[in-house]
Amino acid sequence: MDFNLSEREKMIHSTSREFAVKVVLPRAAEIDCTSEFPRDVVRDMVKMGYFGLAYPAEYGGSGSGYLSYALVIEQLARASMTVGAIVAVSILSQESLFRFGSEAQKREFLVPLVQGKILGCFCFTEPGTGSDPKAVAAKANLEAGQYVIEGQKNFISMASAASQATVFAKDETGRISAFIVPTSVAGFQLREPCETLGLRGFGACVVYLDSVRVPKGNLLGEKGGGYEVMLEAISVERVGVAAQAVGVAQAALDLSVEYAGQRIAYEKPIARMPTIQWFLAEMASRIEAGRWLAYRTAFLRDEGQSIRNDSAVAKLFCSQMAVEVTRMAMQVHGAYGTMKSLPVERLYRDAKMTEVYVGVSEIQRAIIASHLIK
């Protein structure tokens, strides 16, 4: 086993840290406070090539790999989880097209996403379900060479900024198919923005699909094969969520170490107290375990392996770890941890989101358990 990063990965790691500190960190509180999607930061990330890390040059990427994707997201999320999540979630549409698109679809729809010329969104969740594909109610009927899509999709990340959507709907055979839908088509409507506990400024909206028409050729993958597209794309995105969780938890530890060194109680810094040291040590050891789990899963993907089980393990562990670590950070900060003027409470709210979005923890456990007992 080689636990060393390559020279290129080391460089990506250090430049993304620098970028996160200089460009993202000064904006983090404002993004959270205003809930405004940070388009200018996205433009800067495009220049850094952060939307094309995992994909080869022939499709507009840098071919740096999935581990580089995880490294960058960790550093971005350490500054602002919303910004890390923008890069992380972008891989859903990209991976769907890369694995399941025809060559013509890759050229037309994947390349602009990878180059960062446009953003994509991924429309699976509905009012009636986020976990159960059988309960998907959106319909796509074939009429005169076009699919006509009707339905409602909830909690769609970046919908407010996306130019292209991967939409899941039941075709006329009753099976789920995936469709590439430009968001400019008639009937693709953004409704209420989703105001969430954390991950604010993520552009998540309710989307209505009101007789949306796309050419037959916009079917992605096999007809009726939409669930497979979803499972594969989500397995990669889970690495991104694990990396976000590690980044947020690391930020909470950084702040806690600093605060514990400055805060005086009983005439000495609280960092000298065994209880505080216990918190710091627990936080550090859990983060380190999560970090290597996330890196290893990304590495397996770089090796060309399926990571459906490994990424469920990484997401489950890292999201729970981030919730626990940020809770400990709140405790180290005492009453100040609860204040809006300090970043710890934002980290705590953001960490909670990692247990929910891209599949709740209970679904991750179900995936892992079925892998164990099959």
Q: Which of 80, 125, 235, 320 binds ligand FAD (CB under 6 A)?
A: 125
Tokens of 39: 């388009």
Determine which helix (DSSP H) or strand (DSSP E) holds 126, and give its type and residue range: none
Site for ligand FAD in 323-362 (CB under 6 A): 353, 356-360, 362
In whole angstroms, how far apart are CA 221 and each of 59, 91, 189, 229, 329?
18, 17, 25, 7, 45
DSSP conformation letters of 33-71: HH----HHHHHHHHHHTTTSTTS-GGGT-----HHHHHH
End-to-end Cα spacing for the chain: 28
204 binding ligand FAD? (CB under 6 A): yes
Cβ at position 121, least distance to ligand FAD in Å: 6
Please tell me the count of residues contacting ligand FAD according to CB under 6 A.
Answer: 24
276 binding ligand FAD? (CB under 6 A): no
Cβ at position 196, least distance to ligand FAD in Å: 5
How far does Cα 43 stand from its chain's mean position?
18
In whole angstroms, how far apart are CA 313 and each of 2, 8, 29, 124, 248?
21, 27, 31, 22, 18
Q: Which stretch binds ligand FAD (CB under 6 A): 74-82, 128-136, 185-193, 242-250?
A: 128-136
Please state, in angstroms and rounded to a whole number, the distance separating the CA atoms of residues 27 and 32: 9
Q: Which stretch binds ligand FAD (CB under 6 A): 69-77, 126-134, 210-218, 260-268?
A: 126-134
Q: Which of 102, 115, 129, 309 binds ligand FAD (CB under 6 A)?
A: 129
227 binding ligand FAD? (CB under 6 A): no
124 binding ligand FAD? (CB under 6 A): yes
Cβ at position 36, least distance to ligand FAD in Å: 15
Q: Which of 96, 157, 166, 256 binds ligand FAD (CB under 6 A)?
A: 157
* Beta carbons of 112 and 101 less than 8 angstroms apart: no
122 binding ligand FAD? (CB under 6 A): yes
248 binding ligand FAD? (CB under 6 A): no
287 binding ligand FAD? (CB under 6 A): no
Determine phi and psi for 120, rounding to 5 degrees: -115, 160
Tokens of 158: 């970046």
Cβ at position 44, least distance to ligand FAD in Å: 22
Please state, in angstroms and rounded to a whole number, the distance separating the CA atoms of residues 178 and 165: 10
Residues that bind ligand FAD (CB under 6 A): 121-125, 129-131, 155-157, 196, 199, 202, 204, 353, 356-360, 362-363, 366
